[in-house]
């Protein structure tokens, strides 16, 4: 049906045609396929963050509960596979978003002298305009964060498991570290402020009455998740984990 | 009233353009924005200068030819309005007004404020049509279409192809334009035969023409003179998923 779809339709060559459509890579190279992949991986990372904040909140229940939780989690044989999956999801999200950012920039080589937001009903916010900045910052953050906690100090608690509670308290004893974490978590909130609901829109979820609720829920989740992490960091700093 | 205009002047596709200052005196608040430019052009022609080129046709808001970015917003400050339906009473006496063309790699400037929008024609030619052979003129009600579907299709079909969505989008994306056509034809019985190939081919053509992708900000919807919503873009995602994964 689409035969004849080739370079005669100037300018530029088509990235894929009906004949080689079976190639999934080419599908995901298209502007809509890229959105699907970014939305899917973004949603997975969002769901991961929900489990992360839920687990971290156990720190309020004391060192023993927290350390036991951490040990149970990390000693699960499925964890390395899940971690690998998470890394792949994370790298895919970064690769596709950076690639899309570069292509999107190329789509407007001459900038406007004057450009203003169009206003209602646009969803454009400071958060949506700075996704690449918040995203790249979080890449740096995640590297440092994983280094500090996953591959960090190895204290042993009295029960014999790794004393993650102590590592956390010592890490957040430094005001500089707390500041870095708080800034990073505000950027997580900013990223999710647009990203959480945007992921669902990218995947094609849309409904006259549900879309406004999804948009609101995304913002509530952004504040809750970022706020939760900030509270934990500040709490750890202030109390020093008065054990 | 009097306005200070800053208008993009560019001699040709390859020339470097710049904003040039023009004073617009004795502007009536009842003039349309394009009439105001007509008056300036008459003065320029009398003075032996090159008139400012801009696109217009019907001047009643339905053809999609006019295409000016006014003070940073495509089609100017009014919602759901083309530039030709914008009136000078919307501006203040003494105001500075910047006028620029649509800016996108896929919409090269032809001259001044005129851009070449044939990339949109190529997207439509790639799949935005129904080509089943129906013989002679069919009876109007031979194919039943429910009221709800007819309304839904008509809402998407209201697109006049002006390109304001591309102009407003930070990515110069054509997703709203093509999704409107894809959505319109995907809900109608006449559009089913080419439903799968259409969505794939139109997206591929838009990508090949150098339009960007979509960041779900919805600036396009906010400037669209026909107020076409980005729910069409979500539908395009579903249609694309259906086409490439369900293969039907």
| Nearest Cβ partner for B197 among A18, A121, A201 | A18
Domain stops at, among B71, B95, B110: B110
Parallel, antiparallel or unpaired: strands B18-24 and B69-70: unpaired
CA distances from B42 to A136, B36, B65, B78, B91 (A): 53, 10, 21, 26, 22
Q: Write the ipTM.
A: 0.93
The answer to whether the Cβ–Cβ distance between B244 and A108 falls below 8 Å is: no
A25-103+125-239 sits in which CATH class? mainly alpha
Instruction: Give yes or no: residues B103 and B196 share one domain.
Output: no
Instruction: Give yes or no: residues B213 and B130 share one domain.
Output: yes
Residue B141: per-residue pLDDT: 81
Instruction: Give yes or no: residues B177 and B141 share one domain.
Output: yes
Interface of B with A in 106-145 (CB under 8 A): 106, 122, 125-127
Residue from A31, A43, A98 whose CB has the most chain B CBs within 10 Å, to mutate: A31
- Does B43 have pLDDT greater than 50? yes
The answer to whether the Cβ–Cβ distance between A104 and B171 falls below 8 Å is: yes
The answer to whether the Cβ–Cβ distance between A123 and B216 falls below 8 Å is: yes
Residue A231: per-residue pLDDT: 97
Instruction: Give yes or no: residues B89 and B162 share one domain.
Output: no
Residue A233: strand, helix, or coil = helix
Question: For B210-221, how does the pLDDT look when each residue is reduced to its tens digit (9 = 90+)?
Answer: 999 999 999 999
The answer to whether the Cβ–Cβ distance between A30 and B203 falls below 8 Å is: yes
A111 to chain B: nearest residue by CA? B103
The answer to whether the Cβ–Cβ distance between B233 and A194 falls below 8 Å is: no
Contact assessment for residue B132 and residue B42, using Cβ atoms and an 8 Å cutoff? no
Residue from A4, A107, A198, A218 whose CB has the most chain B CBs within 10 Å, to mutate: A107
Instruction: Give yes or no: residues B146 and B97 share one domain.
Output: no
Instruction: Give yes or no: residues B106 and B121 share one domain.
Output: no
Domain stops at, among B51, B86, B110: B110
Chain B residues in contact with A30 (beta carbon < 8 A):
203-204, 207, 240
Mean pLDDT (whole number) for B172-180: 98
| Nearest Cβ partner for A205 among B79, B205, B234 | B234
Instruction: Give yes or no: residues B237 and B134 share one domain.
Output: yes
| Nearest Cβ partner for B222 among A24, A106, A118 | A118
Question: For A170-221, how does the pLDDT look when each residue is reduced to its tens digit (9 = 90+)?
Answer: 999 999 999 999 999 999 999 999 999 999 999 999 999 999 999 999 999 9
Unique residue bearing structure tokens 């995640």: A142
Alpha-carbon Rg for chain B, nearest whole angstrom, is: 20
Angle at which helix A175-202 crosses helix A131-149, to 10 degrees, equals: 130
**B142 pLDDT tier (thresholds 50, 70, 90):** confident
| Nearest Cβ partner for A1 among B73, B194, B219 | B194
- Does B144 have pLDDT greater than 70? yes
Residue B225: per-residue pLDDT: 98
The answer to whether the Cβ–Cβ distance between A31 and B173 falls below 8 Å is: yes
| Nearest Cβ partner for B201 among A5, A129, A204 | A5
Instruction: Give yes or no: residues B71 and B162 share one domain.
Output: no
Contact assessment for residue B53 and residue B113, using Cβ atoms and an 8 Å cutoff? yes
Instruction: Give yes or no: residues B235 and B158 share one domain.
Output: yes
Instruction: Find the domain containing B16 and state its range.
Output: 3-110
Instruction: Give yes or no: residues B220 and B104 share one domain.
Output: no
- For residue B208, the distance in angstroms to the closest alpha carbon of chain A comes to 5
Chain B residues in contact with A204 (beta carbon < 8 A):
234-238, 241
> Which sequence spans correspond to the domains of chain A?
25-103+125-239
Contact assessment for residue B69 and residue B101, using Cβ atoms and an 8 Å cutoff? yes
- For residue B145, the distance in angstroms to the closest alpha carbon of chain A comes to 21
Angle at which helix B231-241 crosses helix B175-187, to 10 degrees, equals: 70
The answer to whether the Cβ–Cβ distance between B233 and A201 falls below 8 Å is: yes
How many Cβ pairs within 8 Å bridge chains A and B?
180
| Nearest Cβ partner for B216 among A21, A112, A202 | A202
Instruction: Give yes or no: residues B51 and B143 share one domain.
Output: no
Question: For B87-139, how does the pLDDT look when each residue is reduced to its tens digit (9 = 90+)?
Answer: 999 999 999 999 999 999 999 999 999 999 999 999 999 999 998 776 777 77
Our count of domains for chain B comes to 2
CATH at B70: 3.10.20.30
A243: Cα within 13 Å, side-chain hemisphere:
14
CA distances from B115 to A141, A215, A235, B8, B83 (A): 44, 35, 58, 12, 15
Sites in chain A below the pLDDT cut of 70: 1-25, 241-243
Mean pLDDT (whole number) for B12-26: 94
CATH at B131: 1.10.1060.10
Instruction: Give yes or no: residues B82 and B128 share one domain.
Output: no
The answer to whether the Cβ–Cβ distance between B105 and A18 falls below 8 Å is: no
Residue A108: per-residue pLDDT: 97
Domain stops at, among B94, B110, B126: B110
């Amino acid at each position: 049906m689409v035969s004849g779809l080739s370079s005669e339709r100037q300018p530029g060559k088509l990235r894929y045609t009906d004949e080689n459509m079976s190639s999934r890579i080419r599908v995901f190279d298209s502007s809509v396929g890229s959105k699907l992949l970014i939305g899917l991986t973004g949603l997975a990372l969002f769901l991961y963050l929900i489990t992360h904040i839920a687990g971290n909140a156990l720190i309020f229940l004391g060192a023993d509960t927290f350390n036991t939780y951490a040990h149970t989690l990390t000693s699960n044989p499925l964890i390395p596979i899940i971690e690998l999956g998470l890394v792949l999801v994370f790298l895919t999200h970064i690769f596709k978003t950076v690639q899309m950012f570069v292509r999107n920039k190329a789509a407007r080589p001459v900038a406007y002298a004057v450009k203003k937001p169009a206003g209602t009903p646009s969803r454009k916010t400071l958060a949506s305009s700075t996704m690449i900045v918040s995203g790249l910052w979080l890449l740096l953050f995640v590297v440092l964060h994983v280094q500090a906690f996953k591959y960090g100090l190895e204290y042993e608690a009295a029960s014999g498991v790794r004393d993650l509670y102590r590592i956390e308290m010592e890490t957040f004893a430094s005001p500089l570290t707390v500041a870095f974490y708080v800034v990073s978590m505000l950027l997580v909130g900013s990223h999710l402020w647009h990203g959480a609901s945007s992921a669902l829109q990218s995947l094609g979820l849309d409904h006259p009455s549900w879309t406004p609720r999804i948009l609101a829920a995304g913002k509530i989740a952004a504040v809750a998740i970022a706020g939760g992490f900030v509270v934990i960091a500040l709490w750890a700093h202030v109390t020093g984990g008065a054990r | 009233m009097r306005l200070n205009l800053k208008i993009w002047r560019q001699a040709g596709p390859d020339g470097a353009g710049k904003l040039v200052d023009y004073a617009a005196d004795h502007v009536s608040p009842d003039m349309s924005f394009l009439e105001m430019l007509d008056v300036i052009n008459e003065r320029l022609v009398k003075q032996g200068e090159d008139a400012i080129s801009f696109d217009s046709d019907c001047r009643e808001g339905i053809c999609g030819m006019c295409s000016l970015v006014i003070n940073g917003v495509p089609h100017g400050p009014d919602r759901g309005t083309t530039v030709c339906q914008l009136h000078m009473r919307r501006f203040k006496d003494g105001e500075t007004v910047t006028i620029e063309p649509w800016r996108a790699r896929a919409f090269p400037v032809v001259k001044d404020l005129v851009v070449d929008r044939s990339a949109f024609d190529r997207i439509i030619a790639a799949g935005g049509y129904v080509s089943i052979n129906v013989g002679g003129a069919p009876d109007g009600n031979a194919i039943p279409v429910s009221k709800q579907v007819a309304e839904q299709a008509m809402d998407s079909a209201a697109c006049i192809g002006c390109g304001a969505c591309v102009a407003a989008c930070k990515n110069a994306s054509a997703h709203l334009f093509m999704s409107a056509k894809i959505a319109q034809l995907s809900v109608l019985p006449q559009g089913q035969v080419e439903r799968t190939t259409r969505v794939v081919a139109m997206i591929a053509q838009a990508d090949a023409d150098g339009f960007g992708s979509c960041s779900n900000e919805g600036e396009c919807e906010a400037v669209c003179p026909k107020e076409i919503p980005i729910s069409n873009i979500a539908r395009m995602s579903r249609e694309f998923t259906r086409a490439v994964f369900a293969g039907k």
